[in-house]
């Protein structure tokens, strides 16, 4: 059973259909999760300690709201967005060409 999320969800088609070159599984869609109100500095400090197992519990609801097939597998990767560890997220196995940005609202 999925949890109802208090989130802002943004889905973006990659510009020019370009894959994330140099990344694990280029072209595959990614799901990035951010706490609401997090500054850039806070994001950089927290990027290695994201509670990805807690985030994984929200994926069924994110998938439902984004129209992603429910049976999609998601693998956490520290280097989901590029070749450095600045953009951790989930890499999806069967949904291509999109980035899903999830802002988790507090409270």
Rounded to the nearest integer, the mean pLDDT of the chain is 79
Q: pTM to 2 decimals?
A: 0.79
Is a pLDDT exceeding 60 seen at residue 31?
A: yes
Strands 74-77 and 7-13: unpaired
Query: With b meaning 16 or more CB within 10 Å and e meaning fewer, what string describes 2-12?
Result: eeebebeeeee
Is a pLDDT exceeding 50 seen at residue 61?
A: yes
pLDDT for the residue numbered 76: 92
Is a pLDDT exceeding 70 seen at residue 15?
A: no
% of the chain with per-residue pLDDT over 90: 15
pLDDT for the residue numbered 2: 43
Is a pLDDT exceeding 50 seen at residue 82?
A: yes
Around 56, how many Cα atoms within 13 Å sit in the side-chain half-sphere?
11
Using DSSP, state whether 102 is helix, strand or coil. Answer: strand
């Amino acid at each position: 059973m999925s949890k109802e999320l208090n989130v802002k969800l943004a889905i973006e088609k990659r510009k020019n259909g370009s894959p994330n070159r140099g990344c694990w599984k280029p072209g595959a869609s990614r799901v990035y999760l951010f706490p609401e109100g997090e500054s850039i500095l806070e994001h950089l400090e927290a990027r290695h300690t994201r509670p990805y197992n807690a985030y994984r519990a929200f994926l069924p609801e994110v998938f439902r709201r984004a129209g992603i097939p429910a049976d999609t597998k998601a693998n956490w990767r520290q280097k989901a967005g590029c070749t450095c560890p600045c953009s951790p997220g989930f890499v999806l196995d069967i949904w291509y060409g999109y980035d899903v940005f999830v802002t988790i609202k507090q409270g």
